[in-house]
Structure formats: C-alpha cells, structure tokens
Amino acid sequence: MDQSRGDGDLSVWCGIGENSTMEQDRDAMDGDVQALVADPGDQDAIKAAILLGNGSRSTLGHMPFAAYYAAAAEGCLLLAWSGARVVGYALFGLARSRVRLSHLCVDKAFRGRGIARLLIEHIRTDHADRLGIQARCRHDYDLGDMWIKLGFTQVSEGPGRSKKGLPVVNWWLDHEHPNLFTSEPTTTLVSAAIDLNILRDFADSTRAGADEAAALRADHLSDQLELVRTAALDAEINEMQSSLRGACTSQAHQLRRVHDPSHGRRAAEIEHQLRQDAQRADAGYPRSSQDSRDLQHVAQAAAAGLNVLITRDQQLARLHSASAQRFGLRILRPVDVIIHLDELVRAEAYRPAMVLNTSYSERLLGSGQETQAEPLADVANGERPQQFLRRLRGLGAARHERVGLHDGDGRMVAIYGLVAGKHTLEAPLLRVLNNTVSDTLARQLVFRLRVRAQSAGLPILRITDPHVSQHARLAAIGDGFRAADNGDLYTFVLARAGLAAIVEHDAVVAARQADLAEPASLRSSMPTLVAAALERAWWPAKILDSDLANYLIPIQQRFSADLLGTPDTLVPRNDALGLAIEHVYYNSSSGLRMTPPARLLWYMSEGGRGVVHRASVIACSQLETVAIGGPVELHSRFQHLGVWRKETVEAASKDGRVQALRFTHTEIFARPISRQRFLELSIAHGSLGQPPRGPRQIPTALFEALYNEGRSV
C-alpha cells in the first residue's frame, strides 16, 4: 500500500500527473508513438507497464502484477510504444456492455503529447460496439479537466474509501449509440468476507504479501466490492495478544457486520458438513483452535448468503474450497477477486435463494392484511409506517392489485401494486425487504412486471413509487429503465419483432401516448452488444435487421421443466431456479461455438416424467455469455443456475472441456410450435428440414417466422 499520501487511501485511475497540462496544450500526437494491444507472451512489455504503474501509485493505487498478465491474456492491456519503449498503457475490462477503465498511465517524460488520447481513442475504436467507457477518479486529484478534454462527462459522485471519505467521481465516455440507456453504471455490490490474515494486511502494510490485499481497497472497486466481517473475525480479533490488535480493531470497525438470518442454525449445519468433509482427508481435523476458527469463517460466510471469502491462507483454501462451493461460497485470494470481479458481480446479482432452503408464494393482499407489509415501509428515508399503510389501503379501496411475495415461513418479503391505464402499466408500489436475497427478488419482480405489461398489451411500464426499494431501483436501471422528468422510472415493453424502423415507430407512438420523451432514432445493422442491450431494455422487442445471431437449442423435456419452467409437470420445480431470471445450459465444447450475445429458441424433444408432451419449439431467451472450461470448474460456478448434476456435465464434456450457456429473459410461447410445423417453416426458409440434434444457427427469417408464430394467441 502506498502510504505517501498519509490517508491510507488507494485512489485510482490516472497516472497522468496532477500538474500535467496534457491535452489542454497539445492535441497533436507525436508520429512515432503507436498504440498496440499487449502480446500475452511479451513478458518484457508487460513488466514495463507494471513499472510505469508502480511509478504512479499515488494516483493509480496498487494493482497486483497478476492482473496485468490476466488483462493481456484477455486483450485488455493496451500499450503505447515510442520506438522500442513502452511509454504508456491503459488497463481495462469488458464489463457487460461497457468498457471499465482501471488504469490510464503515461510516462512522465512523455506527458503532454496526446498519448492518453491515443490510448482512449484506440479503445473506442476496438470496442465501438460497447455503449461507452466508464472511469472513476478521486475529485481531489484535480484531473477533471483532463477527463473532460478526453470526452468524458461526470455522471455521479460518491464517497471513496479514504479515511476522510473523499469524493470519487464516476466519468463516462459515450460511444453515441442510440441514446436509449442510462450511462450511469448500476451499483451492484459483491459482499465478500475477509479472514484475519487479510485484516492484518490492512493493519500492517509492511507484512510480506500485504500489497496483494491492499488492492482490494482501491476506490475504483468501491461500487463493486464490499468487504464485510463475520462473528468469527470479531472472535479472532478478541483473542489477539499482539500489539496489532488495536490496529485490527480499527480496520474491522470500518466493515459492515453480516450474520446468519437463521440465528446460527444454518451456520452450525454448514460447519458440521465442512468438518465431515475435511475429516475424510484428515481424520483428526480440526487439530488446533485455528482450524476451528477457519471452519467458523467459512460456515458463517456461507450462512450469511455471501459468495466470496477472501484469504491468503493456503491451507484454509485447500481444505475447504470444494466443500464451500456446494454452499455457493468461493474461497479466493485477493488477486483472484480482482481479476474475476465482473464475473463475481453477476454471480452475486443473480444468486438464488437456495441458502435459505425456503419456498416462495405470491398472492393478493386481502382487506385487513395490510399490517403484514409494514416491515416494507421505507422508514430510513422518512416514510412513516402509517403513511405506508394508508398508501396500501388506498390502492385496495380503488380496487387495484396488491401482490405480496412470501417466504416459506409466511413472512412477506416483497410487495407490489399495479394500476392498468390506457397505454401504461403503473407500479405505484414496489418494495423488497432488505435481506440476503434482495437482489434476486428485485430482478424477478421487475421482470414479472414486464411480463404483466406484455400480457396486458401495454407498451409502457412505469414505476411511480416515491419510496421504491433501492434493490428494485437498481434492478430496474440494470434492466434498461430510464428516469422521467419527475423521477419516475419507465421503460418500453414492445411486443414487436421487426426492422429497426418499425420498432422505433412503435416506441415513438408509445412515448407520445404516455407524454414521455421520444427515443432516439434506431438504425439497421446495429452492433450485437447495442442490439442486445436494446432488446433487453425494450423486452420483448426483437430488432431483426441487427447483427444479432439466432440459435436453435434442443432440450429434453425433463430439463426444460426445471430450467425453463415449462411444461408443467407433476414434480415441483426447484425453488432456486424458479426465483432466478438467469439460467445456465451445458453443452459439449466439440459442437457449435456460439457467439454471445444472441437469441435462443428452445426446441423441446418428446418425452419426460409424469405427462408426456409433444416435441415443439417452446420459448425464446437472450444468450448473454458462453463460458468454456473444465466440467467440474464450470459446474461449481453455475450449479445454482443449472439443472445438471456434476456427473452429467462431466459426461457431456469433450477432451475435458464443456460449454456453459448463460441466458436470461426467457419468454414462454403462448402457442408452442409443433414438430411438423417447425419442419415446414424450416424448409420454407431454406434451413434443414429436420429436428436439431445439437445447437444450430438459423437464419433471421426463420427465427422471425418461429418467434411470431410462437407468441401469437
């Protein structure tokens, strides 16, 4: 950790220099400098970038060396060369539909020559299909003029992680695609527990290896990574006898305390299972009080609903990693957390409620039942419980829907109200209880509201609750909602599969009817990422003259029932899969390599358990990512989103590799397309006249015919 600033903060982003005039003085770029993506095998070049970064740590913060090599392997380390010398670099990540800039650094001897602009423009060109570039920078570094000169604009500001909480600015460089999306990133946190060795690293930066942990506290991670503590950590601090105890106590005080919602029952169950698993390898385990503490760390983190425990203790990781993954918890080193943070953000966002072992039910709120919802009042932001109850009773008196979501113990964990207008479905009430599964519930509810608007034929969905839960607000923003002039959130729900001009026309008409701002013009041949973001924001719209690919995926009925939720069977569906809106389908890596994002059509084969259904095309989904790796590793990452057991995934692998297709926003067809009709349409559109034996890419014309027929009533 760089302590030269005296505030213990790890600030980020730009190694340009506080006093550099950079682009203000000269826009022209020296002709002998060029930007090239780093070759992962060029160790000397990567080391040169590391040296440059270390030279500007006062404003860049610390970045583990492994992160440079990982970025190079993914094509996300851009180097500026002057002859044979590396004179600058940009280190970035490709997070969802945007570029997340981590480091922008220029050699002091070469500042003021436009190198930063060269690097940024190269990223813009290479990743023009992304919506834009996001960066974060401490305000007190006085680099605002530089970011503005590079074309960035300020979109938000929040406290950083310095002791003084000095503000950090979110900067955004838009790629000027159709202005349909909010440019401010969603604030989705990965909550990760730390053990005592990480806390010691924070308290004493001179410890061997402490710099790896220091990178976890960089300001540019503050909107993604929340470090938390468990009771096990507090207990270990209490037992410390060294002079470091006071410093550790001070560091721990800054971390939010998490707990087991079952008041210790779930943690005890997990700890018992972890102990049994460890004793298969070592019959005498635990052999020390430290071993017992390790068990408690892992069990309490899993029971609290976390999916990450950060440690540098190799023995802890070796003994418990495999067992912990069965409970949705990954035990990682600090550098692995940083490298895989975007993946972890998504895993946290879509983590189902499986850790609670409960089933959920949705039902209308009857007269006199309003007090059940009282815990959902937004007391923290000034809403009094009586105000909330009056709002609820007013909706009931007007005969509007009030729907509560209850957990297995009968407790109401979410509620929403609906008012159907002439052109708009309004949600004047949308609340989610703050607990370990709030993000999952919020995303599920927002999607259910979309489905309700679609079913009602209403092209605008509007959230008008002045006290909408923060989880629900973030879920809506992440799903493409925009803010109206009065602060309401709204989105289009366009039941149209057609050319960009036709979809645009529908959106303009809907906006005028609802007195909303008209969307920007669309254009044909939109890049895949832009088209996919638009189809998600305006779901279930399909832009057929975009570059999105279409795939037909075969699925057995027994897996379709659990994974897609159709057809209904005599065996209940898994609760965890039912709550999530994102799922994973495994496939052999030897078959077709699909390119995400894309559209998926699901062809269900005949046969199943209980009731046998005919083969048919049954649903459409959005393919978000495709991961290729070992079957055990992929199953451990995605087991909460898929239906296959580890043995089934292993059997599907080829040469030790398997594909995991991660998809979302599944639309079940009102009218499944029979096998015979599918074959007729396939032949009519020049495709194979036979059912798919594996994933198959199909032409857009066939997709359009199948999709429109499947969703027609």
Mean pLDDT value of segment 128-145: 86
pLDDT of 609 higher than 60: no
What pLDDT is stored for residue 24 in this prediction? 32
Strand order in the sheet with 598-604: 582-588, 658-674, 616-629, 598-604, 549-555, 696-697
What pLDDT is stored for residue 31 in this prediction? 58
Together in a domain, 554 and 538: no
Least confident of 41-55, 335-349, 655-669: 335-349
Least confident of 23-27, 52-56, 664-668, 702-706: 23-27
Residue with tokens 């049994």: 276
Supply φ then ψ for residue 159, to 5 degrees.
-70, 140
Interval 666-678: pLDDT, tens: 999 999 999 999 9
Mean pLDDT value of segment 601-617: 80
Least confident of 146-155, 161-170, 174-183, 417-426: 174-183
> Tell me, what CATH number does 245's domain have?
3.40.50.1010
Q: Is the dihedral of CA 215, 220, 224, 225 positive or negative?
A: positive
pLDDT band, very low/low/confident/very high, at 29 (cuts 50, 70, 90): very low
Spatial separation of the C-alpha atoms in residues 42 and 53, rounded to whole Å? 17
Residue 222, in any domain of the structure: yes
Mean pLDDT, the chain, rounded, equals: 84
Residue pair 226/188 in contact (Cβ under 8 Å)? The answer is: no
Residue 184, in any domain of the structure: no
Spatial separation of the C-alpha atoms in residues 622 and 533, rounded to whole Å? 10
pLDDT band, very low/low/confident/very high, at 279 (cuts 50, 70, 90): very high
Residue 517 has what DSSP assignment?
A: P
Mean pLDDT value of segment 560-564: 84
Residue 262, in any domain of the structure: yes
pLDDT of 654 higher than 90: no
> Tell me, what CATH number does 412's domain have?
3.40.630.30
Residue 205: count of CB within 10 angstroms of its CB: 15
Residue 704 has what DSSP assignment?
A: H
Together in a domain, 580 and 666: yes
Mean pLDDT value of segment 174-182: 68
Residue 585: count of CB within 10 angstroms of its CB: 25
Question: Which has the higher per-residue pLDDT, 4 or 618?
Answer: 618
Together in a domain, 564 and 687: yes
Interval 623-642: pLDDT, tens: 998 988 898 888 887 877 88
Residue 25, in any domain of the structure: yes
What pLDDT is stored for residue 184 in this prediction? 46
What pLDDT is stored for residue 163 in this prediction? 62
Residue 485: count of CB within 10 angstroms of its CB: 8
Together in a domain, 168 and 217: no
What pLDDT is stored for residue 7 in this prediction? 30
Among candidate residues 174, 198, 226, the one where a domain is terminated: 174
Q: What is the dihedral of CA 595, 599, 601, 602, to 10 degrees?
A: 60
Spatial separation of the C-alpha atoms in residues 689 and 500, rounded to whole Å? 29
Together in a domain, 195 and 243: yes
Together in a domain, 48 and 79: yes
Together in a domain, 403 and 341: no
pLDDT band, very low/low/confident/very high, at 196 (cuts 50, 70, 90): very high
Together in a domain, 27 and 135: yes
CA atoms within 13 A on the CB side of 552: 27
Strand order in the sheet with 482-483: 361-364, 401-406, 412-420, 424-432, 460-463, 489-492, 482-483
Together in a domain, 483 and 519: yes
pLDDT band, very low/low/confident/very high, at 221 (cuts 50, 70, 90): confident
> Tell me, what CATH number does 669's domain have?
2.30.130.30
Residue 183, in any domain of the structure: no
Spatial separation of the C-alpha atoms in residues 648 and 631, rounded to whole Å? 9
- Alpha-carbon distances, residue 325 vs 308, 341, 347, 503, 633 (angstroms): 10, 17, 13, 44, 10
Together in a domain, 519 and 638: no
Domain count, the chain: 4
Interval 78-134: pLDDT, tens: 999 999 999 999 999 887 678 999 999 999 999 889 999 999 999 999 998 888 999
Least confident of 181-190, 253-262, 367-376, 420-429: 181-190
pLDDT of 13 higher than 80: no
What pLDDT is stored for residue 360 in this prediction? 75
Q: What percent of the chain has pLDDT over 70?
A: 88
- Alpha-carbon distances, residue 39 vs 51, 82, 444 (angstroms): 17, 16, 42
The one-letter amino acid at 37: V
pLDDT band, very low/low/confident/very high, at 461 (cuts 50, 70, 90): very high
pLDDT of 554 higher than 50: yes
Mean pLDDT value of segment 191-212: 90
What pLDDT is stored for residue 299 in this prediction? 94
Among candidate residues 314, 349, 384, the one where a domain is terminated: 349
Together in a domain, 69 and 125: yes
Give the range of the structural domain holding residue 229, as residue numbers without chain letter: 190-349
What pLDDT is stored for residue 87 in this prediction? 95
3-state SS, residue 692? coil
Together in a domain, 302 and 394: no
Residue 204, in any domain of the structure: yes
Residue 320, in any domain of the structure: yes
Tokens of 197: 């060795």
Q: Label residues 71-93 b or e (16+ Cβ within 10 Å = b).
A: bbeeebbbbbbbeeebbbbbbbb
What pLDDT is stored for residue 17 in this prediction? 38
Residue pair 229/193 in contact (Cβ under 8 Å)? The answer is: yes
pLDDT band, very low/low/confident/very high, at 575 (cuts 50, 70, 90): low
Mean pLDDT value of segment 303-323: 89
Residue 356, in any domain of the structure: no
Among candidate residues 484, 514, 543, the one where a domain is terminated: 543
pLDDT band, very low/low/confident/very high, at 171 (cuts 50, 70, 90): confident
Least confident of 50-59, 161-170, 399-408, 417-426: 161-170
Q: What percent of the chain has pLDDT over 90?
A: 45
